[in-house]
A and B are shown apart, each in its own frame.
Chain A
């Protein structure tokens, strides 16, 4: 494993910033630097799954990754953007303004290679549908913490169906109180109350869609 990936996995913010800057200055291909950062994020994910790291470490690694991207992105060759796993539309559903879980998942999805269209919070069903049509994203992620959010998730799934997109779009719902019962009730394909597991499920979706 590279020094950069190790530094990111160790959440050593200063060392990561120094190494990224040195590599950019030395003319190292930006895509390979990005891939080293992603390897570091993968280690963080493994440590989270094994119980060594907690949500806070996912958050810190995500923030470090975001800082890296600010430096790396301008150097990615024109026309050759970072490789993406899949496009994805994400948002907290109508009537709910909780953003913490969604924002964390957004960063983790970006680090994993998804092109995420984050619609923010309190998102109407038709806004989700319009974005799915506009971007042709095959994955929809909906977040919510309050129990009334379950109704909004259900309405959104119905709106996706009404737009004739249901067989083209994989749907995942997530949130602190989202359970299997909720997943079934709203008509989602998968559910989770764990951000990183949500990312893994989206990776499975991306594989199925290839």
Chain B
């Protein structure tokens, strides 16, 4: 049994942070994207029994011990973001189980849940409530969030008047104001100007040092090798390779080079010129 807030204990057997066993996520294309009765009836009348389901992820197994930071890489549409959504508890697996220990903070796309009409301060309160912070917790953090986001005089103006950089900064400041046990990051590192990028990188490293485990989805291979001690390559929803970051990055780069060669060989680029 784990002890919630004593950390970091030595990685004893069974003290994992994330355990994923035979995870599968299935999408039913018949239901996704703006279905109307008409389409449903049309499909029913045509008696289409073609398989409109597909597995975004299947047979994924891994276990993350305390102190590990895992990079998930792979081509677009491989299922990386779906994996993060499952780990964050947003999507329920269709088969298999996931077991996440500790409180989770997900830095998926920043500024989710911002209400354009509301002021920055109201949005902090709203986002905090969505993240499940208590009122007391939130009041203690709000000044720190405003300071970190560096939008002092605009904090009571509606978000719709903010520049995209200001919005991203505020989103980052809110999402990183918690000290999570498990941190999930999806491509949010490149926000704002250089100064803010440095500041946010420092903050992520600080959280990472305190967190039990990190899962990072990125296309920036520098981050993978510099920042993670484990990496995982996902292609078409299945786990292709797992291990040392440098090796996995090499495999990924080799695979994407091969994929590009195939595209060139098929003459798609040549055809596109016409």
Partners in one complex: no
**Residues of A near any B CB (own CB < 8 A):** none
**Residues of B near any A CB (own CB < 8 A):** none
